[in-house]
Amino acid sequence: MKKIKKSTGVALAFLIYVSVTAAYLLPRNTEVSLTEKVLTVGVSYVIVFLLWLVLRKKEQMRERRKKDEQSIHLKK
């Protein structure tokens, strides 16, 4: 079975959290307009997506560094 990467796991957890929170709390909130509710959820999804991109980039940099270190050790 393929292991889930940290970037995907963390982003997926936040995505589920944002979705469940929005589905549970936003319909009960009558103080804000529908536009504000949609913008809040949309911005939250964008933040989760950006988090996923940053974590993915960090993983790629870590793998590249590890590969470079292995190639240096093989040359010695």
Q: What is the mean pLDDT of residues 59-68?
A: 91
Residue boundaries of the structural domains of the chain: 7-75
DSSP H or E stretch at residue 55: helix 34-75
Mean pLDDT taken over the chain:
90
Query: pLDDT tens, 6-41?
Result: 889 999 999 999 999 999 988 888 888 989 999 999
pLDDT at 61: 94
Q: How far apart are CA 48 and CA 55, in angstroms?
A: 11
Q: What is the predicted pLDDT for the residue at 4?
A: 85
Instruction: Supply the pLDDT for residue 72.
Output: 78
Q: Is the dihedral of CA 5, 9, 10, 14 positive or negative?
A: positive
